[in-house]
Chain A
């Protein structure tokens, strides 16, 4: 702040104070169209969810106070534990596929050659399509009896699995479709990371005779850790909210084998009339996302190599 500005602030004249008050009012007016909806439809419902989580309620009855009972019920509910396991299965399945695949694509498409932008565009294409359309397409591709994937497998003598109709294969089916859809997204995030890297270190290493693998391991990857770390965090955060593709591919089945956390919240609320319990689960999910975000803030300081 300049000296004059500081002085004006210390000794405001009547007009200056009036001008500042008017500016503040104008600013609040410009904020109102977004602040009011955010307060009404994000902040207020958040408190309401916390309040509802302390009640037993089936959407129709009066809410009856049960204290922390819903949370205790969640802890001892095997299906909720299973939902968390399935969600974790999803995250741990999608993460390595998209991370390794996305990194390979980013490295390959960072090089300058003709047709590179077209290829980038093709790999990114699934990202802009709707999850429901993608889920239906993959149900068709992975159809156990008439799908093209099992037919192709039979050409090389493999008897394909039951995919989304088989409890053991329902999560892998969802993971496969999701990895296909998210690959281009991770690629773009990592390409942005690669573009931000300084080129002089690479050139120096090349002059010193370092090979491709050596440069990747000792220079590119360490420098790329912020982008890689960001991809991991964003995949975790999105992964814990997985719903659309599960709903459309398996509906959580067969036999609940792909019931994920958000699916469970949805089912508790609208199928079993357990809206209080569902609110408690929502709060737990929020806590998980909050912890991942806080972990990101700590981790960024701790082990990301910004140079």
Chain B
């Protein structure tokens, strides 16, 4: 077989594989548009009578609108907080000589080895002591800082030429000014990458919100989705509508920021 034919064959296989990857999404979409799917109706890839009935059920018989708002609010808050705390720490590690710098940086990295799963019991106990069960603050507090973010932003900041800071310092700028006016604008791509990651991990977070949030109108999307399963055991159209609603915002972000997301994963192994 000639080289060209092999190439065409490989590409055909890659396209077939991609179609297989996309199929679950398409099937979810068409199921969500087929009223009574799984019970009275069998969905097909192109629904014979597309209907938004499942979406209406979703928004009328569950507080789904509120749930979306909760997810957006929490994800935005966590992103803003994590970017702020990570960027300031990254600046300290990138631009200061201080006693214990190496050790402290190593300790930051070491915290990445301790997953939330290991801290479930003590963190729950702590939040209960503070009276933060079923509160957004209880969800936010343990995710305020990100060692991964500090690492990522520090890597970017050390590549910013020191001459830029020095010039600003001679002009009378203090550290806050150098940080905000010189360093931050020069690491915009890293800030974008990390912001997307922080948003994505908060948007998709499940275990910790599951432990903290109890009432239906406090829940985030993944939690509400999980409880849909109990409420609509066989109404697959409603459950698929819920999945579509939770996937769409991430999909939109992904389409616009694919470059940052893939670079971030490739450079760090964090997803």
**Chain A contacts to B: CB under 8 angstroms:** 20, 23-24, 26-28, 30-31, 33-35, 37-38, 40-46, 48-49, 52, 59, 105, 108-109, 111, 113, 119-133, 136-141, 143, 146, 148, 180, 183-185, 188-189, 191-192, 230, 234, 241, 243-244, 247-248, 262, 265-266, 269-270, 275, 278-279, 282-283, 285-286, 289-290, 293
Contact = CB atoms under 8 A, between A and B. Distances in A.
B70 interface: no
B118 A248 contact: no
Nearest first, the 8 A-B pairs at minimum CB distance are A192-B266, A45-B122, A27-B96, A30-B92, A48-B122, A37-B144, A34-B145, A34-B85
Contact of B225 (A52, A136, A141, A285): A136
A278 B121 contact: yes
A123 B18 contact: yes
Contacts of B101: 27
A265 B119 CA distance: 10
A33 B146 CA distance: 11
A155 to B, nearest CB: 14
A141 B27 contact: yes
16 contacts: A34-B144, A34-B146, A43-B111, A46-B114, A46-B119, A129-B251, A130-B247, A130-B250, A133-B225, A136-B229, A137-B243, A140-B28, A184-B21, A265-B120, A266-B207, A279-B121
Given A52-B125, A191-B266, A265-B121, 9 more contacts: A34-B85, A37-B144, A49-B118, A113-B11, A119-B15, A132-B222, A143-B236, A148-B27, A269-B121
Chain B binding site: helix, strand, loop or mixed by DSSP? Answer: helix
Interface of B: 7, 10-11, 13-15, 17-18, 21-22, 24-25, 27-28, 31, 38, 42, 84-86, 88-89, 91-92, 96-99, 101, 104, 108, 111, 113-115, 117-126, 141-142, 144-147, 150, 175, 179, 200, 203-204, 206-207, 210-211, 221-223, 225-226, 228-229, 236, 239-240, 242-243, 246-247, 250-251, 253-254, 258, 261-262, 265-267, 269, 271
Nearest to B115: A241
Given A33-B145, A34-B150, A109 B31 contact: no
B199 to A, nearest CB: 10
Nearest to B211: A270
